């Protein structure tokens, strides 16, 4: 029996060299494998407006003797997904709530430690410089990665202008939002298993337009590395049926802090303008902490400069 998700790994590895019609099939299966598993070759072809023979050739192109063998591999993929629930029950079924809490947090700590020891500091520094120098930054993260993209967008938008968060279910709409991307811009793609084909296509488009591409993903084997010029790796294994995003979020948080310390005066000025707008329009009704004055990271280097005067 193949290892779990091996069929999807094969598709991802071969995607860059596929024909246009095969990329259409690959994209659909990677995004909807739980639905494709029930489709015949004819039905899949009809859904995607390609011929049945094209679907059969696609199955052969990713290493299977025919479509039935390919479909069987998809069945094993779905069964593997379901088995995670059984594994979770076996691992935590008789545990107390306190034991579950300790076990999950301990697993997250291990992922953080792994990320600390394996993250390339030179790549991290390169990513910071790329973001600082880019005219416009495009950020994309879908499904469970969407909160990570939104978090990064929120803080980058405070630090600097021209930050675009790509949120769409359509590849066509993604390209429409990126139509002006160029060599002076930066694209940040965030994707962890299950990898997003829409994010990968957006990264390919950005790369074709000579934009700087940063990938925030899990390993050197991730398909997100195909089109990136800078890779930031963070450990993200499945604790149960839920993806652990603690380490990726910490890497993103570190990016934000590093960017703040690179240009503290600009950050302080932007935050002061935001605070003034919030006060003028009573956004928070003055019940929030004054984070401009109380934020130790942003003001640390500024206070040092004031002390020297």
In contact, 183 and 210? CB cutoff 8 Å: yes
Per-residue pLDDT, averaged over 191-210, amounts to 88
145 to 139, 236, 256, 263, 278: CA distances (angstroms)? 11, 11, 17, 27, 29
Q: State the CB neighbour count (10 A cutoff) for residue 70.
A: 25
Tokens of 105: 């947090």
pLDDT, tens digit, 9 for 90 and up, residues 113-163? 888 888 889 999 999 999 999 999 999 998 888 999 999 999 898 888 899
Q: Which of helix, strand or coil describes residue 282?
A: coil
pLDDT, tens digit, 9 for 90 and up, residues 49-75? 999 999 999 999 998 999 999 988 888
Residue 6 confidence (pLDDT) above 90? no
Q: What percent of the chain has pLDDT over 70?
A: 77
Tokens of 260: 């703040």
Q: State the CB neighbour count (10 A cutoff) for residue 31.
A: 18
0.75 exceeded by the pTM?
Answer: no
Tokens of 121: 């500091």
60 to 3, 34, 89, 140, 236: CA distances (angstroms)? 19, 20, 37, 32, 32
Residue-level pLDDT at 291? 52
Is residue 1 very low, low, confident or very high in pLDDT (cuts 50, 70, 90)? very low
pLDDT, tens digit, 9 for 90 and up, residues 30-46? 877 878 888 899 999 99
Question: Interior CA angle at 271 toward 267 and 272, to 5°?
Answer: 115
Cα(191)–Cα(188) distance, integer angstroms: 10
Tokens of 297: 């990271």
In contact, 53 and 1? CB cutoff 8 Å: no
Q: Find where tokens 């004055």 sit.
A: 293
Residue 284 confidence (pLDDT) above 70? no
Residue 275 confidence (pLDDT) above 80? no
Residue-level pLDDT at 278? 65
Cα(30)–Cα(198) distance, integer angstroms: 10
Q: What percent of the chain has pLDDT over 90?
A: 32
pLDDT, tens digit, 9 for 90 and up, residues 81-95? 555 555 555 455 556
Q: Which residue has the higher pLDDT, 125 or 12?
A: 125
Q: Find where tokens 């009704």 sit.
A: 285
Residue 57: its H or E element = helix 52-61
Tokens of 46: 């009809």
Tokens of 44: 């899949």
Cα(5)–Cα(3) distance, integer angstroms: 6
Per-chain mean pLDDT for the chain: 80
Expressed in angstroms, the distance from the first to the final Cα of the chain is: 71
């Amino acid at each position: 029996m193949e290892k779990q998700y091996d069929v999807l790994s094969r598709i991802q590895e071969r995607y860059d060299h596929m024909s246009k019609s095969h990329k259409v099939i690959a994209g659909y299966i990677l995004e909807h494998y739980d639905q494709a598993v029930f489709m015949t070759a004819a039905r899949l072809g009809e859904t995607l407006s390609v011929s049945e023979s094209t679907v059969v050739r696609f199955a052969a192109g990713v290493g299977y003797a025919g479509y039935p063998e390919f479909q069987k591999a998809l069945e094993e993929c779905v069964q593997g997904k379901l088995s995670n629930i059984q594994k979770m029950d076996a691992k935590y079924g008789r545990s107390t709530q306190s034991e579950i809490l300790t076990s999950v947090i301990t697993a997250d700590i291990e992922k953080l430690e792994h990320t600390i020891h394996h993250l390339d500091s030179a790549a991290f520094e390169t990513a910071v410089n790329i973001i600082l120098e880019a005219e416009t930054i495009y950020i994309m993260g879908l499904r469970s990665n969407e909160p990570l993209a939104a978090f990064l967008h929120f803080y980058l938008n405070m630090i600097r202008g021209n930050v675009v968060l790509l949120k769409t279910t359509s590849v066509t709409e993604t390209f429409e939002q990126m139509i002006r991307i160029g060599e002076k811009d930066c694209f940040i793609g965030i994707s962890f298993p299950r990898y997003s084909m829409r994010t990968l296509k957006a990264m390919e488009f950005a790369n074709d337009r000579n934009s700087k591409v940063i990938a925030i993903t899990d390993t050197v084997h991730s398909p997100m590395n195909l089109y990136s010029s800078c890779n930031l790796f963070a450990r993200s294994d499945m604790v149960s049926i839920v993806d652990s995003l603690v380490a990726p979020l910490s890497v993103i948080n570190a990016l934000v802090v590093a960017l703040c310390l690179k240009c503290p005066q600009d950050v302080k000025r932007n935050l002061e303008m935001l605070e003034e707008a919030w006060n003028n329009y009573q956004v928070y009704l003055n019940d929030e902490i004054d984070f401009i004055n109380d934020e130790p990271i942003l003001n640390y280097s500024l206070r040092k400069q004031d002390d020297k005067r």
